[in-house]
């Protein structure tokens, strides 16, 4: 619907997705356990078509992502591929673009193992990060460095779209007009290396077409199985796709069907990429919030810097967690940062209501009664000239939430203002598009208290003069933590708080 | 493998299947509940391409099978079809070639219901058959008439291939090189209207290709999920297909996955055709026995006549049953008829060993260690000149099995001779291709005894002179049963036998 391309220097997320999807459809994933020389491999692959791009990475094995110039090249490559020979009797003969390279020469020359430069696909260890940050000259530089270290690389993004594309081959079998799109932190600009891969199967590709009944005469209707509700349809489809992934999907393991959740999903591990995958269906509101977060991240570089820093800080301090529970989620945390940036004076980013007011007719979007309209043309957005530095903003962030009236007020990025809390949960963050919902409904008082206490502690730490200057040492490899790095060290708050209870 | 076309006037079953499959792929199934005038419907459909053939039939509703000249015509027709409007939120958006015709004019002119001539798809009631047979002039004519009444019609055969083709669309999604083929009585020439539809998914389309490992250098292998055995692969695939059929398959109801059977299968009802369907996978031996039965049926018209008559007689007398159990199966019964015909002097049909000896190099076929080779070129088969009439053969059949030494001997159509029984089951009929197996292992003594007693009774009945002449009556609509018809009347044996026990 929003086909807006490059505008004001920024591509809309939708345009970007289309481009990446097309790229992924021309790519294959190759297990290179045979450790063939790079040149030899490329020569072999090139016989099927021009290679536009490729890279190697290591997970459970050595892999290569190879992008061909054309889809036909991939088809040609697959045509020459064989069924695993030894064990083909017990192989499920489902053919995908996940291949294994075999090299009958390896035995003769086992010393070819060197060569490939591998692209790292996992997050940097926190201790290393602390060391690296401490070598920077300013807190601003520390924040930039953290962002650059953690953000998804070009290669990781390609790999994410490729995994979606591989899964798409499974679903397209039954729903050819549908696509699998990544959403959430894989594409919203706030993803950290190693974050999960959220995907959704957009069934509207089908049901949006030809729904109108002709006004007169004869017409044909597809005969279709009826479920008891739209939700039941989603559950049934995810159930079957879950089974397919489980039984046929190469490299897909630990498949879980979580169909009774508010948003039913299929969760699985994609071994060759190392991604933890969550597949949902008909989850269009989540796609819209992803687009919104992406837009905010593109408006001002300080947005991403602050979000990355706060997310990293929160994870290190155990405010967020990899497991579901009463923890604050990364999504809630991001909305909190956005809200904080709207509250600056002058504001660094506009309110969602303002973005809606800027929307053109083509941007109109209502999903299940919720108005999800906002502007897609970035050039229409006029920013105010706030000149605060990242360091200032980080300080203010901790100050802001260290003293926020959570007991009375809720956060709304739609209004860019705190509102009276409609219900009594400890933390209330208005869902931007389904405004009657609270995105942090799961958070309990003790988790909120920890968050507040840690904000206060961090705010205090950043006020100490010795925290704030680089600690240079003779031994430049054993620098002492300073600035942002000190915030990532184990805090006292956890213990204090547990004792208080 | 055996691409042998028309030879000696007979098409091989394989050639026939290929032709029918291609025809089915160009066909659609339309629910015509709106009862549009035939002309109007045809005009509407013709706008998408030339119609090569069509017919109407009634099951739970009025349906039309429409064969277009080209596959593109079907694609064009589908492109114009819409998603069910009212309830599309809860419809599983899987698009198939099963469509419903809607007519917005129907309300205005509800009297268009007439017109279409419907092709009957179900078996004639037995009481009607008895009346009709009794009007014939000879037992030979009775047998021919019974065969013509019960055998599958051209339309029913088309419908069977179409249902396979619709199911093929579901499986081709994941296994594009595979096809679903009907086997058993749907295509072996001995099918009766209303018989079940046995289908098998031939996965060899995939695994037969590119299995050879290149001799040297680099090559790519598909990464595939491994199961514990070939049987487990079949079970997994049937499991997933069963789920797909259950959740997505329009018109498919009462889906049962019977995966622990010797031959794992998915059973379901296809409502629009009324067929009870059994889907198996990698069941190539059954396809071979189907081809063999087909060949025998084509060799001499008396084969089909006798098989139909014996099957109908057995069903009427409760020797065979629609339910699984200790009953003799139709397949066993057919093998018994074939064996009997091999024992004539001179034999009416050759032994399977002889058919194997006539085979050319292209006919060679070994499945899981079993030699399933036999000649595919019908013209190589020289028949001996036996001139017995159908009436004589039917008499002799009952005489033969009424006095057969079932306790000591087994039946082998491979040798065309009784053999010493290798094991102690009441009835031993050698499986033609897996000769260590007994196709009638399920049969118990009491069922065999009933069969023998009924053979004796029928043999006796056919010897009575009054049975053997047409009983003409003034009232030609109330003829008295005679000849074959008397064998289809309730017998005394059932009660005698139950009393004996
Ligand atoms: N409306 C709403 N959307 C949510 C909520 N939680 C998650 N989402 C959406 O779903 C996306 C994926 O969820 P997550 O995987 O939990 O979060 P994420 O943004 O991907 O961040 P990670 O923790 O890096 O995975 C988010 O980006 C949101 O767009 C929620 O509570 N309410
Ligand atoms: N080898 C072997 N094949 C069998 C056996 N039972 C069935 N088959 C094969 O499977 C096919 C289908 O089985 P059925 O549906 O039971 O029999 P049918 O010949 O189709 O006859 P109907 O009763 O009309 O369905 C048969 O035609 C045989 O080719 C058996 O016990 N052994
Ligand atoms: Mg995520
Ligand atoms: Mg059958």
Count each helix (H run) and each strand (E run) in chain A, helices first: 16, 14
Distance CA A457, CA A496 (A): 11
- Say which DSSP state B213 is in: P
pLDDT at B108: 47
Q: Which residues is B10 bridged to in the sheet?
A: B7
Handedness of CA A306, A310, A316, A322 (dihedral sign): negative
Q: Which residues is A65 bridged to in the sheet?
A: A29, A55
Alpha carbon distances (Å) from A62 to A35, A98, B6, B146: 8, 13, 55, 69
Q: Please indicate if any CB of chain A lies within 8 Å of the CB of B77.
A: yes
Q: What is the distance in A from the centroid of ligand 3 to the CA of B426? A: 66
Distance CA A226, CA A487 (A): 55
**Residue A189 in contact with ligand 1 by CB distance below 6 A:** no
Nearest atom in ligand 1 to A184's CA: 27
Q: Please indicate if any CB of chain A lies within 8 Å of the CB of B120.
A: no
**Burial state string for B319-352 with b = 16 or more CB within 10 A and e = fewer than 16:** bbeeeeeebbbbbbbbbbbbbbbbbbeeebbbbb
Distance CA B67, CA B52 (A): 6
Distance CA B348, CA B341 (A): 5
Nearest to A54, CA basis, from A77, A79, A83, A85: A77
User: Which pLDDT band, with edges at 50, 70 and 90, does A110 fall under?
Assistant: very low
| Residues 190-229 (B) with a CB less than 8 A from some CB of A | 203, 206-207, 209-229
Residues of A with CB below 8 A from B225's CB?
91-92, 94, 247-250
Do B191 and B290 meet the contact criterion of CB atoms below 8 Å apart? no
Gap from B45 CA to chain A (nearest CA, Å): 10
What is the three-class DSSP state of A410?
Answer: strand
Q: What is the distance in A from the centroid of ligand 3 to the CA of A192? A: 10
Under an 8 A CB cutoff, do B94 and A173 touch? no
Nearest atom in ligand 1 to A185's CA: 20
Do A31 and A98 meet the contact criterion of CB atoms below 8 Å apart? yes
- Say which DSSP state B263 is in: S
pLDDT at A5 over 50: no
Ligand nearest to the CA of B184: 2
**Residue A399 in contact with ligand 1 by CB distance below 6 A:** no
Residues of A with CB below 8 A from B242's CB?
none
Compute and round to an integer the Cα radius of gyration of chain B: 25
**What is this structure's pTM?**
0.89
Residues of A with CB below 8 A from B218's CB?
36, 40-41, 44, 101-105
Q: CB count, 10 Å around CB of B359?
A: 18
Please tell me which residue of chain B has the smallest CA distance to A230.
B90
Distance CA A58, CA A155 (A): 12
Do A4 and A12 meet the contact criterion of CB atoms below 8 Å apart? yes
Burial class (CB in 10 A: 0-12, 13-18, 19+), B475: exposed
Q: What is the distance in A from the centroid of ligand 1 to the CA of A332? A: 8
pLDDT at B5: 41
| Residues 396-455 (B) with a CB less than 8 A from some CB of A | none
Do B72 and B63 meet the contact criterion of CB atoms below 8 Å apart? no
Distance CA B119, CA B155 (A): 7
Alpha carbon distances (Å) from B365 to A40, B93, B198, B355, B381: 41, 42, 22, 13, 19
Mean pLDDT of A244-264: 94
Prior bond of B346 cis (ω within 30°) = yes
Best mutation site among B122, B184, B281, B433 for ligand 2, i.e. most ligand atoms within 8 A of its Cβ? B184
What percentage of chain B's residues is helix, strand, coil (to nearest 5)?
40, 15, 40
Most confident of A204-218, A247-261, B104-118: A247-261
Nearest atom in ligand 2 to B439's CA: 31
Alpha carbon distances (Å) from A383 to A299, A300, A305, A351: 8, 9, 18, 11
Q: Which residues is B488 bridged to in the sheet?
A: none
Q: CB count, 10 Å around CB of A484?
A: 30
Nearest to B469, CA basis, from B399, B396, B391, B402: B391
User: Within 13 Å and on the Cβ side, how many CA atoms surround A466?
Assistant: 2
Residues of B with CB below 8 A from A230's CB?
89-90
User: Which pLDDT band, with edges at 50, 70 and 90, does A467 fall under?
Assistant: confident
Residue-level pLDDT, tens digit, chain B, 501 residues: 344 443 444 678 888 999 999 999 999 999 998 878 889 899 999 999 999 999 999 988 999 999 999 999 999 999 989 888 766 678 888 899 999 998 876 554 444 555 678 888 888 889 999 999 999 999 999 999 999 999 999 999 999 999 999 999 998 888 888 889 999 999 999 999 999 999 999 887 665 544 566 666 888 999 999 999 989 999 999 999 999 999 999 999 999 999 999 899 999 999 999 999 999 998 889 999 999 999 999 999 999 999 999 999 999 999 999 888 999 999 999 999 999 999 999 999 999 999 999 999 999 999 989 999 999 988 999 999 999 999 999 999 999 999 999 999 999 999 999 999 988 899 999 999 999 999 999 999 999 999 999 999 999 999 987 777 777 666 666 678 899 999 999 887 755 544 444
Alpha carbon distances (Å) from B215 to A76, A100, A107: 20, 17, 14
Mean pLDDT of A148-156: 95
Alpha carbon distances (Å) from B103 to A39, A117, A216, B27: 64, 65, 8, 21
pLDDT at B498: 45
Ligand nearest to the CA of B322: 2
pLDDT at A111 over 60: no
Alpha carbon distances (Å) from A63 to A69, A98, B442: 20, 10, 54
> Which strands make up the sheet holding A275-281, listed edge to edge?
A179-183, A197-202, A275-281, A265-270, A252-258
**Burial state string for A140-152 with b = 16 or more CB within 10 A and e = fewer than 16:** bbbbbbbbebbbb
User: Which pLDDT band, with edges at 50, 70 and 90, does A87 fall under?
Assistant: low
Do B51 and B66 meet the contact criterion of CB atoms below 8 Å apart? yes
**Residue B51 in contact with ligand 2 by CB distance below 6 A:** no
Mean pLDDT of chain A: 89
What is the three-class DSSP state of B388?
Answer: coil
Q: Please indicate if any CB of chain B lies within 8 Å of the CB of A477.
A: no
Do A317 and A493 meet the contact criterion of CB atoms below 8 Å apart? yes
Q: Which residues is A125 bridged to in the sheet?
A: none
Distance of CA B60 to the CA centre of its chain: 22
Q: Please indicate if any CB of chain A lies within 8 Å of the CB of B44.
A: yes
Considering only residues A424 and B63, tell me which one the structure prediction assigns the higher pLDDT. B63
Distance CA B177, CA B369 (A): 24
User: Within 13 Å and on the Cβ side, how many CA atoms surround A54?
Assistant: 21
Alpha carbon distances (Å) from A351 to A2, A359, A420, A473, B28: 20, 13, 18, 45, 54
Residues of A with CB below 8 A from B80's CB?
210, 219-220
Contacts (Cβ under 8 Å, ≥6 apart) of A449? A497
Q: Which residues is A220 bridged to in the sheet?
A: B101
Do A251 and A98 meet the contact criterion of CB atoms below 8 Å apart? yes
Do B226 and A90 meet the contact criterion of CB atoms below 8 Å apart? yes
Nearest to A146, CA basis, from A456, A401, A390, A433: A390
CA dihedral A342, A344, A349, A351 (to 10 degrees): 30
Nearest CA to ligand 1 atom 31: A439
Please tell me which residue of chain B has the smallest CA distance to A100.
B221
Q: Please indicate if any CB of chain B lies within 8 Å of the CB of A109.
A: no
Which DSSP string do the residues of A314-370 spell out, in sequence order? HHHTTSS-SS-SSSPPHHHHHHHHHHHHHTSSS-SS--HHHHHHT--GGG--EETTE
pLDDT in tens, A309-366: 999 999 999 999 988 899 999 999 999 999 999 999 999 999 999 999 999 999 999 9
- For B460, list phi and psi in degrees, rounded to 5: -65, -45
For residue A400, the surrounding DSSP H or E stretch is helix A390-402
pLDDT at B153: 95
Q: What is the distance in A from the centroid of ligand 4 to the CA of A278? A: 43
Burial class (CB in 10 A: 0-12, 13-18, 19+), B384: exposed
Distance CA B122, CA A105 (A): 64
ipTM exceeds 0.95:
no
pLDDT at B499: 41
Do B336 and B401 meet the contact criterion of CB atoms below 8 Å apart? yes
Q: What is the distance in A from the centroid of ligand 1 to the CA of A184? A: 5
Distance CA A248, CA B233 (A): 10
> Which strands make up the sheet holding A218-222, listed edge to edge?
A218-222, B98-103, B27-31, B62-68, B51-58
């Amino acid at each position: 619907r929003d086909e807006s391309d490059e505008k004001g220097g920024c591509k809309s997320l939708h345009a970007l997705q289309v481009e990446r999807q097309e790229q992924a459809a021309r790519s294959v994933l190759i297990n290179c356990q045979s450790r063939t020389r790079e040149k030899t491999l490329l020569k072999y692959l090139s016989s099927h078509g021009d290679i536009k791009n490729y890279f190697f990475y290591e997970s459970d094995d050595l892999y290569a992502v190879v992008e061909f110039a054309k889809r036909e090249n991939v088809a040609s490559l697959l045509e020459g591929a064989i069924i695993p020979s030894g064990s083909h009797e017990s192989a499920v003969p489902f053919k995908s673009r996940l291949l294994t390279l075999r090299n009958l020469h390896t035995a003769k020359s086992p010393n070819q193992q060197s060569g490939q430069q591998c692209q790292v696909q996992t997050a940097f260890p926190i201790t290393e990060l602390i060391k690296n940050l401490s070598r920077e000259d300013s807190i601003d530089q520390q924040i930039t460095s953290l962002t650059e270290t953690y953000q998804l690389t070009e290669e990781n993004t390609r790999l994410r779209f490729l995994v979606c594309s591989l899964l798409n081959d499974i679903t397209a079998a039954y729903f050819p007009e549908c696509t699998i799109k990544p959403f959430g932190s894989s594409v919203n600009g706030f993803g950290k290396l190693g974050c999960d891969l959220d995907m959704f199967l957009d069934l509207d590709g089908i049901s949006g077409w030809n729904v109108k009944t002709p006004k007169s005469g004869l017409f044909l209707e597809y005969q279709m199985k009826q479920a008891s509700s739209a939700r039941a349809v989603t559950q049934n489809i995810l159930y079957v796709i879950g089974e397919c992934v489980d039984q046929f999907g190469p490299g897909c393991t630990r498949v879980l069907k979580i169909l009774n959740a508010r948003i039913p999903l299929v969760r699985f591990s994609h071994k060759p990429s190392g991604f933890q995958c969550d597949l949902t269906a008909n989850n269009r509101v989540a796609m819209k919030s992803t687009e919104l977060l992406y837009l905010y991240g593109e408006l001002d570089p300080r947005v991403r810097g602050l979000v990355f820093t706060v997310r990293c800080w929160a994870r290190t301090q155990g405010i967020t967690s990899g497991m579901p529970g009463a923890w604050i989620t990364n999504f809630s945390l991001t909305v909190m940062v956005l809200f904080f940036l709207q509250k600056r004076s002058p504001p660094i980013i506009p309110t969602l209501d303002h973005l809606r007011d800027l929307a053109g007719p083509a941007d109109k979007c209502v999903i299940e009664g919720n108005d999800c309209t906002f502007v897609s043309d970035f050039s229409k957005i006029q920013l105010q000239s706030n000149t605060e530095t990242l360091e200032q903003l980080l300080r203010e962030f901790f100050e802001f939430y260290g003293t926020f009236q959570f007991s009375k007020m809720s956060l709304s990025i739609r209004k860019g203002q705190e509102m009276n809390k409609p219900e009594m949960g400890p933390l209330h963050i208005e869902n931007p598009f389904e405004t009657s919902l609270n995105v942090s409904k799961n958070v309990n008082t003790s988790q909120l208290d920890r968050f507040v206490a840690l904000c206060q502690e961090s705010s205090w730490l950043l006020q100490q003069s010795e925290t704030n200057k680089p600690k240079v040492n003779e031994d430049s490899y054993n620098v002492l933590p300073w600035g942002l790095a000190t915030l990532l060290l184990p805090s006292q708050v956890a213990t204090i708080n547990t004792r208080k209870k």
